């Protein structure tokens, strides 16, 4: 079967989504998930944008062993130099060069004439080719470009060494029929097209990113550029889980093509990304939403009980969703715990297992029944480095006490630890969580910031369920996300807020060092 490559740009295009910025540890964790998913290409970032982006691309390039690692670069010498310096340590480095080709972009953004764009594209692809053999060329806003001009640009890029040609729907403007025609037309009219793999990169502004990407495959594209959960600018990008499962479920419709993706890792990757950016999947999100495999209508339930295929075109196990069954208890040992984690599809180091086992035992003391969902919450929170950690640069929770009622003002006394030193404060608030946050602010005295999101989600069923709290704050035009996990909502909230505040403090400290 012919294979369609999966090019994941969660760490580049996905991170450009407002409120979805990530630190280096979080990016590495996502890169590891993508490697386990067996994506073909990880676009690790846009190296020239900032020292932080350069460091991320470089570190991921040196960490990932089983995927191509790419960095985006405008068609300029400076961008390409930065991209190469960042990816040169990768097992298979790729430089991804782009330039706009639509009349609108050439005139108003580039302020270049078409012939100048042709010349620059050829010259910069040839320059990038001096560094490595794996060169991708993207014609930005291809879907609004003149097809004959676009064919000329592609022809020049291939002649100068590009072996992947990406024709993106940059603003989510096109339709499936148009995308299929775009790919097939350029492949037919650009000389040397047989030497390159054609790729699609679609945005979801009109809700057609997945449909347009699949139409591109029908037109001859053999690479799809996408993100976990469809994360991306504006309305987002093509969702990896959607195109992969569409090809997996309907190979007959798409010419019998396949992907190299390990679909059982999809749910884990999705949960990890949602944890890191501080969001949860919409209930009706295709493939990984809570209701994706739920059946409430009586006629549906009857059909599923008789034969799952009556209403399920794929199984939850196919994407890595496990049944919410009872698993381990307070008397379970470390070996049983470790073995069950492996059965869930997680590979952890001994240190990570030890830390997660401690968290598990703490939860066992507070919660009667432990489910797979609880275990996954513990693992993913720890793996993404989102549980509050006591490190030399941050505050961690020592203890807290709250007093509240519906006729008096809530009070919180809290003790935090930093560098083995304890700090205590008392504060009032409109409820125990507000009082706890005010007490934290009294100790930390943070920079001015806005409070963007505070949300609580239950991990499983029952009144003793783990509470998953997300806090998002903004300062310095950046968003800082924290998450906390506990059967005690106040404790989870405190840990989530401390995590976000520690990230803000670390960001400010790094900026001061740079100055």
Q: For 260-288, write each residue's pLDDT tens digit.
A: 999 999 998 998 898 888 788 888 999 99
Band (pLDDT 50/70/90 cuts) for residue 43 is very high
pLDDT of residue 325: 54
In a domain, 416, yes or no: yes
What are the distances in angstroms from CA 227 to CA 99, 201, 217, 320? 21, 10, 17, 18
Residue 397 makes CB contacts below 8 A (sequence gap 6+) with: 388, 414, 415, 416, 417, 491, 494, 495, 498
pLDDT of residue 511: 77
Please tell me which of 46-55, 334-343, 360-369, 451-460 the model is most confident about, judged by mean pLDDT.
Answer: 46-55
Read off the tokens for 101: 């080709």
Which of the 8 DSSP states describes residue 190?
A: S
**pTM: predicted TM-score of the whole model, two decimal places:** 0.82
* Residues 310 and 426 occupy one common structural domain: no
In a domain, 480, yes or no: yes
Domains of the chain: total = 4
* Residues 182 and 252 occupy one common structural domain: yes
What's the pLDDT tens digit per position in 370-409? 777 788 788 776 644 443 343 456 899 999 999 999 999 9
* Residues 193 and 237 occupy one common structural domain: yes
In a domain, 62, yes or no: yes
**Diameter over CA atoms, the chain:** 78
Domain termination site, one of 249, 277, 305: 277
* Residues 361 and 299 occupy one common structural domain: no
pLDDT of residue 387: 38
CATH number at residue 505: 3.30.160.270
Please tell me which of 13-17, 135-139, 311-315, 415-419 the model is most confident about, judged by mean pLDDT.
Answer: 135-139
pLDDT of residue 431: 94
Band (pLDDT 50/70/90 cuts) for residue 205 is very high
What are the distances in angstroms from CA 112 to CA 70, 79, 115, 171? 27, 18, 8, 20
Q: What is the mean pLDDT of residues 210-215?
A: 98
Average pLDDT taken over every residue of the chain: 89
User: Taking 60 as the threshold, does the pLDDT of residue 52 lie above it?
Assistant: yes
In a domain, 286, yes or no: no
pLDDT of residue 299: 47
* Residues 439 and 378 occupy one common structural domain: no
What's the pLDDT tens digit per position in 29-38? 899 999 999 9
* Residues 231 and 151 occupy one common structural domain: yes
Beta strands in 157-216 (DSSP E): 164-166, 197-201
Radius of gyration of the chain (CA): 25
Secondary structure class of 479 (helix, strand, coil): strand
pLDDT of residue 359: 83
pLDDT of residue 384: 44
Lowest-pLDDT range of 100-114, 172-186, 316-330, 468-482: 316-330
Band (pLDDT 50/70/90 cuts) for residue 305 is low
What's the pLDDT tens digit per position in 135-157? 999 999 999 999 999 999 999 99
* Residues 55 and 147 occupy one common structural domain: yes
User: Taking 50 as the threshold, does the pLDDT of residue 120 lie above it?
Assistant: yes
In a domain, 389, yes or no: no
pLDDT of residue 266: 96
pLDDT of residue 515: 62
pLDDT of residue 430: 94
**pLDDT exceeding 70 applies to what percent of the chain?**
91
Distance CA 503, CA 298 (A): 48
pLDDT of residue 227: 98
Domain termination site, one of 383, 407, 428: 383
User: Taking 60 as the threshold, does the pLDDT of residue 316 lie above it?
Assistant: yes
* Residues 72 and 175 occupy one common structural domain: yes
Residues 316, 289 contacting (CB under 8 angstroms): no
Q: Domain containing 412: what range? A: 396-514
Read off the tokens for 75: 């068609």
Tell how far CA 330 is from the center of its chain. Answer: 34
Secondary structure class of 186 (helix, strand, coil): helix
Lowest-pLDDT range of 7-16, 83-92, 240-249, 460-469: 460-469
Distance CA 58, CA 41 (A): 15
pLDDT of residue 372: 78
Read off the tokens for 514: 């740079």
The string over 489-504, giving b where at least 16 C-beta atoms fall within 10 Å of a residue's C-beta and e elsewhere, is bbbbbbbbbbbbbbbb
**pLDDT exceeding 90 applies to what percent of the chain?**
63
Band (pLDDT 50/70/90 cuts) for residue 420 is confident
* Residues 353 and 450 occupy one common structural domain: no
Residue count of the chain, please give it.
515
User: Taking 60 as the threshold, does the pLDDT of residue 326 lie above it?
Assistant: no
Domain termination site, one of 277, 312, 334: 277
User: Taking 50 as the threshold, does the pLDDT of residue 61 lie above it?
Assistant: yes
Band (pLDDT 50/70/90 cuts) for residue 307 is low
Which residue is listed with tokens 């944890």?
275
CATH number at residue 39: 3.20.20.70
pLDDT of residue 151: 98
* Residues 358 and 242 occupy one common structural domain: no
Distance CA 297, CA 293 (A): 12
In a domain, 167, yes or no: yes
Read off the tokens for 269: 């990757």
pLDDT of residue 340: 81
Lowest-pLDDT range of 209-218, 405-414, 455-464: 455-464
Distance CA 243, CA 224 (A): 8
pLDDT of residue 173: 97
Q: Are strands 478-486 and 223-226 parallel, antiparallel or unpaired?
A: unpaired
In a domain, 285, yes or no: no
* Residues 28 and 174 occupy one common structural domain: yes
In a domain, 405, yes or no: yes
* Residues 369 and 420 occupy one common structural domain: no
Q: What is the mean pLDDT of residues 358-377?
A: 80
Q: What is the mean pLDDT of residues 342-368?
A: 80
């Amino acid at each position: 079967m012919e294979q369609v490559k999966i090019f994941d740009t969660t760490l580049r295009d996905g991170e450009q989504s407002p409120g979805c910025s990530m630190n280096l540890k979080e990016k590495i964790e996502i890169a590891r998930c993508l490697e386990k998913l067996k994506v073909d290409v990880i676009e690790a970032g846009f190296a020239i944008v900032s020292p932080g982006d350069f460091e991320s691309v470089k570190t991921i390039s040196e960490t990932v062993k089983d995927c191509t690692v790419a960095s985006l670069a405008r068609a300029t010498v400076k961008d390409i130099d930065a991209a190469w310096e960042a990816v040169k340590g990768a097992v298979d480095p790729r430089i991804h060069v782009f330039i706009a080709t639509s009349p609108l972009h050439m005139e108003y953004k580039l302020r270049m004439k078409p012939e100048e764009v042709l010349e620059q594209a050829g010259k910069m692809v040839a320059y990038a080719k001096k560094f490595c053999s794996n060169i991708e060329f993207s014609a930005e806003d291809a879907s609004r470009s003149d097809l004959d001009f676009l064919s000329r640009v592609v022809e020049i890029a291939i002649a100068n060494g590009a072996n992947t040609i990406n024709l993106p729907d940059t603003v989510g403007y096109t339709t499936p029929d148009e995308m299929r025609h775009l790919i097939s037309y350029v492949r037919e009219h650009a000389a040397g097209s047989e030497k390159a793999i054609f790729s699609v990169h679609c945005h979801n502004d009109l809700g057609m990113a997945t449909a347009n990407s699949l139409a591109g495959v029908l037109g001859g594209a053999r690479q799809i550029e996408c993100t976990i959960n469809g994360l991306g600018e504006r309305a987002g990008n093509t969702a990896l889980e959607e195109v992969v499962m569409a090809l997996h479920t309907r190979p007959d419709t798409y010419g019998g093509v396949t992907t190299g993706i390990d679909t059982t890792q999809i749910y884990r990757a999705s949960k990890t990304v949602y944890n890191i950016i501080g969001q949860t999947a919409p209930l009706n999100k295709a493939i990984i939403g809570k209701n994706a495999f739920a059946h409430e209508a009586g006629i549906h339930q009857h059909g599923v009980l008789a034969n799952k295929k009556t209403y399920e075109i794929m199984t939850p196990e196919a994407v890595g969703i496990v049944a919410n069954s009872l698993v381990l208890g307070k008397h379970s040992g470390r070996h049983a715990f470790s073995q069950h984690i492996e059965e869930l599809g997680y590979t952890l180091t001994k240190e990570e297992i030890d830390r997660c086992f401690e968290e598990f035992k703490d939860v066992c003391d507070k919660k009667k029944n432990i489910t797979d969902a609880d275990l996954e919450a513990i693992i993913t929170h720890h793996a993404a480095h989102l549980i509050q950690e006591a490190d030399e640069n941050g505050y961690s929770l020592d203890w807290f006490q709250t007093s509240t009622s519906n006729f008096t003002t809530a009070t919180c006394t809290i003790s935090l630890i930093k560098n083995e030193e304890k700090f205590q404060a008392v504060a009032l608030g409109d409820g125990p969580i507000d009082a706890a946050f005010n007490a934290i602010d009294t100790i930390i005295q943070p920079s001015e910031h806005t409070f963007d999101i505070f949300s609580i989600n239950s991990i499983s069923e029952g009144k003793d369920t783990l509470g998953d709290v997300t806090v998002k704050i903004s300062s310095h035009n950046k968003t800082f996300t924290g998450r906390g996990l506990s059967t005690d909502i106040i404790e989870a909230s405190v840990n989530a807020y401390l995590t976000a505040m520690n990230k803000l403090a670390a960001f400010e400290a790094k900026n001061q060092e740079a100055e």
